[in-house]
């Protein structure tokens, strides 16, 4: 999720472009750049590795005359945050500049094809392929060149491009990645989100998927996928800046909960080759080494630990590998005999958590290979691990992990299946079934999110309770742990996650009418056991909120409240069943007047031991 800006008007573009990027800084900040076309057709570009402060410094001494330009602040997905990988990206001769938000799934194939035709690449990004495609398709009409290029792209994009021969034209196009056109008085603002230019105009047009925008001195035109002109009535946006940065949601956490379909889809999007087999470029795990693995050791903290807990079940079932999982801060105090036959999987959204980094270093010291599952490209853990699987959840501003958790789960499914395929544990038929169901998880998450009202009613009903117990079995157990963590870290209420079968070995003593129990009970192989546990809970007078498979009549009869999720495969339910729990924690915390984005005592990244 990056910040994109474009400007065409009568002001000097450099300042206007930077101003817009500054307001999009929450969307990405590991590298940035601006290109401006001078009236004489000179393309002036300044790009930096680092945040917008670094760009500001570089722009101070840069003469970038011109009233047409584009800008970008990057959240790296492909290629570390270096100057070479910073946008805008240029074609071979520096005539065309492109900024992009999204993931081009077929960029490796496109890049090789372009290189075979003599195109010279300077970066590791997927975006640069767009600049060279436009170069190939350009014969004087930039809009037509972009349209032809779009036909070769697979994946999500918000693209803005300029050509030095056309200093009075900006073109843009979007698919699955937002772009807006701000309409000023004789000037036009393009951005990946409204906040960029809300101080300049309140009139915006929201481009639809498949549309192509052309802006010039006489106005703008928008055409649909078929090339025919479409018209959109400008919208008067009355949000304040703060609301706009949250996309209209009250809090970043809620916005990020609702971004999960995109986060999961983007994490899955670039992990398959053209034949549909899993292919993770930076994984660096040879098939032979995968087949010789003796054990997997998972190391993580907090929510990432819960993603690792789920992975334990997956690695055991699909890769037939024994799995040892340990809280990172405890990992180093165990004399865990880790050898070169072990694969250590470190899970971390930030890639900077000191406890997990310490575990990675200890594992490497003992000769193990380390794969890191990380959301932040170029973070410390990605530089120390032997291989990396990136989640593509985009920046997560809320301290409580939400979209990065479901993205981590998606990455774990892929890693477990990849190992399973290499070790012969996942048949073609089973692989196709699982991959097929993974691909339809994003719309199923959307369906769960549509059930928000039922969650709000539950939050209102139980907001005054002081203690909660979350129960789950099998892959529902990591979800119970995560649901409890979410509730306690943002509402400050006491909540415990427990294996449901363990309740009778102690925690059941806690239960009475004031201790709600949240039971993760989708239709799966442990459903009947969960029903028994729910009956035991009800017999002690405690209220039960079940997270269940939509249409299950049995559970509705015995529970006080039910939060529904659509049906899916047994091992994939966690991606769906965690969502109501995230919403429950959020709404209870809001009802209790808590600061959900910045809960007390917590930091987004714990870089101390």
Applying CB under 6 A, the residues found at the interface with ligand AGP are 301-304, 348-350, 353, 356, 399-401, 489, 605-606
Nearer to ligand AGP, 361 or 432 (CB): 361
Q: What residues contact 251, with CB distance under 8 A and at least 6 apart?
A: 398, 586, 590, 596, 597
Nearer to ligand AGP, 166 or 380 (CB): 380
Annotated active-site positions, please? Answer: 2, 604
Q: Look-up: residue for tokens 């889809």?
A: 265
* Whole-Å CA distances, 320 to 286, 323, 387, 412, 474: 18, 9, 21, 15, 16
Task: Tell me the three state secondary structure of residue 30.
Answer: coil
Nearer to ligand AGP, 440 or 602 (CB): 602
**Do the Cβ atoms of 35 and 219 come closer than 8 Å?**
no
Q: Look-up: residue for tokens 């047409």?
A: 68
**Do the Cβ atoms of 396 and 256 come closer than 8 Å?**
yes
Least distance to ligand AGP from the beta carbon of 585, Å?
A: 10
191 forms beta bridges with: 5, 180
Q: Look-up: residue for tokens 């809970």?
A: 537
Helix 107-116 to helix 127-137 angle, to the nearest 10 degrees?
50
Least distance to ligand AGP from the beta carbon of 399, Å?
A: 5
517 forms beta bridges with: 469, 544
Q: Look-up: residue for tokens 């817009």?
A: 20
Least distance to ligand AGP from the beta carbon of 548, Å?
A: 24
Nearer to ligand AGP, 342 or 355 (CB): 355
Least distance to ligand AGP from the beta carbon of 344, Å?
A: 15
Q: Where in 394-504 does DSSP place strands (E)?
A: 467-472, 494-499
Least distance to ligand AGP from the beta carbon of 1, Å?
A: 17
**Do the Cβ atoms of 549 and 567 come closer than 8 Å?**
yes
Nearer to ligand AGP, 16 or 400 (CB): 400
- Sign of the CA dihedral with 174 first, then 79, 20, and 269 last: positive
Nearer to ligand AGP, 137 or 408 (CB): 408
Least distance to ligand AGP from the beta carbon of 596, Å?
A: 11
- Sign of the CA dihedral with 303 first, then 309, 314, and 319 last: positive
Least distance to ligand AGP from the beta carbon of 468, Å?
A: 16
Nearer to ligand AGP, 218 or 601 (CB): 601
Rounded (to 5) percent helix, strand, coil in the chain: 40, 25, 40
Least distance to ligand AGP from the beta carbon of 253, Å?
A: 10
**Do the Cβ atoms of 588 and 580 come closer than 8 Å?**
no
Q: Which residue is nearest to ligand AGP (CB)?
A: 302
* Whole-Å CA distances, 391 to 254, 267, 374, 379, 383: 19, 5, 6, 13, 16
Nearer to ligand AGP, 399 or 469 (CB): 399
């Amino acid at each position: 999720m990056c910040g994109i800006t474009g400007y065409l008007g009568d002001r000097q573009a450099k300042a206007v472009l930077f101003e817009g990027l500054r307001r999009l800084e929450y969307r990405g900040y590991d590298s940035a750049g601006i290109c401006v076309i001078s009236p004489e057709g000179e393309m002036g570009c300044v790009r930096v590795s680092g945040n917008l402060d670094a760009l500001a410094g570089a722009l101070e001494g840069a003469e970038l005359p011109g009233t047409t330009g584009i800008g970008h602040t990057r959240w790296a997905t492909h290629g570390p945050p270096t100057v070479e990988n910073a946008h805008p990206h240029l074609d071979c001769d520096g005539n065309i500049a492109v900024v992009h938000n999204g993931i081009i799934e077929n960029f490796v194939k496109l890049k090789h094809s372009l290189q075979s035709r003599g195109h010279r690449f300077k970066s590791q990004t997927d975006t640069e392929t767009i600049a060279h495609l436009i170069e190939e398709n350009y014969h004087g009409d930039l809009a037509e060149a972009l349209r032809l290029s779009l036909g070769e792209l697979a994946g999500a994009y918000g693209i803005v491009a300029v050509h030095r021969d056309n200093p009075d034209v900006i073109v843009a196009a979007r698919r699955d990645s937002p772009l807006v056109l701000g309409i000023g008085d004789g000037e036009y603002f393009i951005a990946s989100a409204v906040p960029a230019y809300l101080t300049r105009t309140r009139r915006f047009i929201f481009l639809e998927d498949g549309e192509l925008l052309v802006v010039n001195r006489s106005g703008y035109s928008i055409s649909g996928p078929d090339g025919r002109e479409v018209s959109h009535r400008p919208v008067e946006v009355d949000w304040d800046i703060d609301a706009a940065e949250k996309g209209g949601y009250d809090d970043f956490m809620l916005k990020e909960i609702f971004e999960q379909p995109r986060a999961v889809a983007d994490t899955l999007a670039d992990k398959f080759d053209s034949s549909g087999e899993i292919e993770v470029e930076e994984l660096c795990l040879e098939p032979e080494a995968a087949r010789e693995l003796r054990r997997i050791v998972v190391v993580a903290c907090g929510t990432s630990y819960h993603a690792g807990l789920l992975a334990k079940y997956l690695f055991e079932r699909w890769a037939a590998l024994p799995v040892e999982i340990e809280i990172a801060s405890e990992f180093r105090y165990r004399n865990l005999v880790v050898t070169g036959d072990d694969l250590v999987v470190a899970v971390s959204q930030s890639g900077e958590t000191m406890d997990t980094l310490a575990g990675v270093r200890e594992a490497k010291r003992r000769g193990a290979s380390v794969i890191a599952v990380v959301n932040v490209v170029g973070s410390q853990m990605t530089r120390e691990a032997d291989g990396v699987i990136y989640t593509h959840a985009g920046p997560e501003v809320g301290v409580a992990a939400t979209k990065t958790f479901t993205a981590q789960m998606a990455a774990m499914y892929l890693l477990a299946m990849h190992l399973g395929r290499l070790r012969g544990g996942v048949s073609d038929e089973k692989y196709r079934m699982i991959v097929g169901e993974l691909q339809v998880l994003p719309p199923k998450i959307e369906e769960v999110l549509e059930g928000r009202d039922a969650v709000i009613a539950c939050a209102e009903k139980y907001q005054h309770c002081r203690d909660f117990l979350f129960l789950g079995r099998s892959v529902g157990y990591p979800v119970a742990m995560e649901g409890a963590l979410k509730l306690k870290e943002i509402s400050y209420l006491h909540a415990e996650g427990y294996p449901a079968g363990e309740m009778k070995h102690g925690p059941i003593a806690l239960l009475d009418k004031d201790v709600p129990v949240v039971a993760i009970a989708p239709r799966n192989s442990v459903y009947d056991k969960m029903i028994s546990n729910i009956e035991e809970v009800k017999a002690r007078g405690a209220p039960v909120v079940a997270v269940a498979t939509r249409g299950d009549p049995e559970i509705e009869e015995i529970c006080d409240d039910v939060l529904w999720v659509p049906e899916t495969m047994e091992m994939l339910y966690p991606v769906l069943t965690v969502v109501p729990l995230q919403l429950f924690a959020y709404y209870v915390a809001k009802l209790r007047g808590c600061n959900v984005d910045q809960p007390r005592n917590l930091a987004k990244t714990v870089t101390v031991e």
